[in-house]
């Protein structure tokens, strides 16, 4: 199963991906998390992307697709070992038409295909409030909100005890830039997947548990288990 979560920044993809991946037995492919980790670890990739990341710009398709291909190779290796992983859950990828085409090609080469694309629907004015109050664990990527979903102890991750901090790209200017980029580059992909009969839309303006429930229902209703 290859399940894609789509929606603008702040729609709740990371929140839902963190809950759904273990429940559905899927490997999480969250390109934003992978880029943040590269920046924090000061790898060559991290140095290359940091300035664009902080400005809220997209990282080049070449670098992003290479990162996802690496994760797919890891997934194939795990499957070969018989670890029981059912597939992958994509959060924040694909974000451009070129990335969507590259994912199709990579899956076709592995004789697999996208099962379902979930669009998490949230209006823009709600997104800005969510992003301004977002906090993320620097160790395990668990997502919090200072008002809607705070950790039990301020600044400390419930799940792993790691430090919970604001992201460097959750500034007002970078938030506006990322939401504009979503409309321009990523929103057109929704029609692309809808036309292929892969799309299910979920209302993202309801309690986190209810969004999870609706996504699980949509996956059961539409997924072809390839």
Give me the residues that bind ligand ADP (CB under 6 A), please: 7, 9-15, 130, 133-134, 143-145, 148-149, 208, 211
Q: For 57-109, give the DSSP string.
A: PPPPHHHHHHHHHHHHHHHHHHHHTT----EEEEES---SHHHHHHHHHHHHH
Q: Among ligand ADP, ligand AMP, none, what binds residue 214 when CB lies within 5 to 8 Å by partner kind?
A: none
Q: Among ligand AMP, ligand ADP, none, what binds residue 87 when CB lies within 5 to 8 Å by partner kind?
A: none
Closer to ligand ADP by CB, 27 or 118: give it: 118
Helix then strand then coil, in percent of the chain rounded to 5, is 50, 15, 30
Q: Give phi and psi for 89, each to the nearest 5.
A: -120, 120
Token pair recorded at residue 166: 């604001």
CA separation for the pair 143, 54 (Å, rounded): 18
To the query of whether residue 217 is one of the catalytic residues in this protein, the response is: no
Q: Are 55 and 174 in contact (CB under 8 A)?
A: yes
Q: Which stretch binds ligand AMP (CB under 6 A): 73-81, 88-96, 104-112, 203-211?
A: 88-96
Min. distance of Cβ 126 from ligand ADP in angstroms? 8
User: Which residues carry out catalysis?
Assistant: 13, 95, 134, 167, 178
Residue ranges binding ligand AMP (CB under 6 A): 9, 31-32, 35, 53, 56-59, 64, 92-93, 95, 99, 169, 178
């Amino acid at each position: 199963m290859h399940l894609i979560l789509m929606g603008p920044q702040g729609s709740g993809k990371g929140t839902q991906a963190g809950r759904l991946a273990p429940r559905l037995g899927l490997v999480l492919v969250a390109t934003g998390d992978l880029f943040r980790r590269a920046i924090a670890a000061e790898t060559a990739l991290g140095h290359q992307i940091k300035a664009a990341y902080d400005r809220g710009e997209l990282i080049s398709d070449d670098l992003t697709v290479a990162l996802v291909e690496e994760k797919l190779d890891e997934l194939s290796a795990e499957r070969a070992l018989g670890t029981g992983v059912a597939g992958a859950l994509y959060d924040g990828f694909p974000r451009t038409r070129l990335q969507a085409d590259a994912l199709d090609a990579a899956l076709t080469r592995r004789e697999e295909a996208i099962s379902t694309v979930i669009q998490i629907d949230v209006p823009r004015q709600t997104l800005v409030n969510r992003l301004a109050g977002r906090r993320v664990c620097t160790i395990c990527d668990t997502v919090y909100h200072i008002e809607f979903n705070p950790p039990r102890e301020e600044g400390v991750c419930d799940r792993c005890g790691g430090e919970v901090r604001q992201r460097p790209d959750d500034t007002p200017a970078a938030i506006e830039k990322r939401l504009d980029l979503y409309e321009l580059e990523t929103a057109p992909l929704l029609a692309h997947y809808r036309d292929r009969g892969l799309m299910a839309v979920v209302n993202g303006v309801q309690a986190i548990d209810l969004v999870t429930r609706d996504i699980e229902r949509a996956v059961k209703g539409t997924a072809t288990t390839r």
